[in-house]
Amino acid sequence: MAKPGTQESNELFPVFLKLNQLRLLIVGGGYVGMEKLQAILSNSPEAKIVLVATEISAEIKELVKAYPAVSLIERPYALSDFDNIDIAIVAINDAVISSQVAADAKSKGILINVADKPDLSDFYLASIVQKGNLKIAISTNGKSPTIAKRIKEVLNETLPGEIGDLLTNMQNIRNKIGGDFTEKVKQLNEITQKLTEK
């Protein structure tokens, strides 16, 4: 909570996880589980995921046919589901079970996100804009997913699809420039300065 007379700020630290090198547990096989699973796979299609749920929807079963790194386990959640897991997401509409899974994760030192329960979560899933290799994560500190979604729409409309080509070209230029770090920065500044001139 912000001090009186000061503006509240978002103190979350943004990171990009290599989910193909980690093991992710998702608890929940319904609509919310599907939503989280789709968000993860659209950003990290080789993510290693174990999804556990008493009942797994036909949509999830169909989706994972294209993703061999996703394992489905159709049974109630058990503490042993955290064995060999690095990070977890709870995607169920049951406050009691969500709280238990969150407590179990914390007892094992595993970071967890509980859908619609910021107080139980160690991290939030961001709204994401992607154009080729450019990826922008948007956070409202859990205050308004609607605002995050609108900002995502604006950025998607504003950023040209060709920005990915620009990044590739800049990487090629950077790789061809000789000299130490200071010299490379100087030369890149000279090249990119022309982009800001009218």
Higher pLDDT, 159 or 104: 104
Question: Which residues, including other chains, have CB under 8 Å from residue 169's CB and lie 6 or more apart?
Answer: none
Q: In the numeric block, which tokens belong to residue 22?
A: 């980690």
| DSSP-assigned letter for residue 144 | -
Please provide the CATH number assigned to the domain covering 127-159: 3.30.160
Tokens of 27: 């608890």
Amino acid at 56: I
pTM of the predicted protein model: 0.82
Render 10-56 in DSSP notation, one character per residue: ---------GGGSEEEEE--SHHHHHHHHHHHHH-TT-EEEEEESS-
- In this predicted structure, the answer to whether residue 1 has a pLDDT above a threshold of 60 is no
Looking up tokens 């995502």, which residue turns up? 152
C-alpha radius of gyration, the chain, whole number: 21
What are the domain boundaries of the chain? 19-125, 127-159, 166-196
Higher pLDDT among residues 194 and 38, named by residue? 38
Question: pLDDT (tens digit, 9 = 90+) per residue, 5-41?
Answer: 567 888 888 899 999 999 999 999 999 999 999 999 9
Burial of 50 from C-beta contacts in 10 A (0-12 / 13-18 / 19+): buried
Pick the CATH number of 19-125 from 3.40.50.1980, 3.40.50.720, 3.40.30.10, 1.10.540.10: 3.40.50.720
pLDDT digits (tens, 9 = 90+) for 106-142: 999 999 999 888 889 999 888 899 888 889 999 888 7
Domains 19-125 and 127-159 fall in the same CATH topology: no
Count of beta carbons in the 10 Å neighbourhood of residue 147: 12
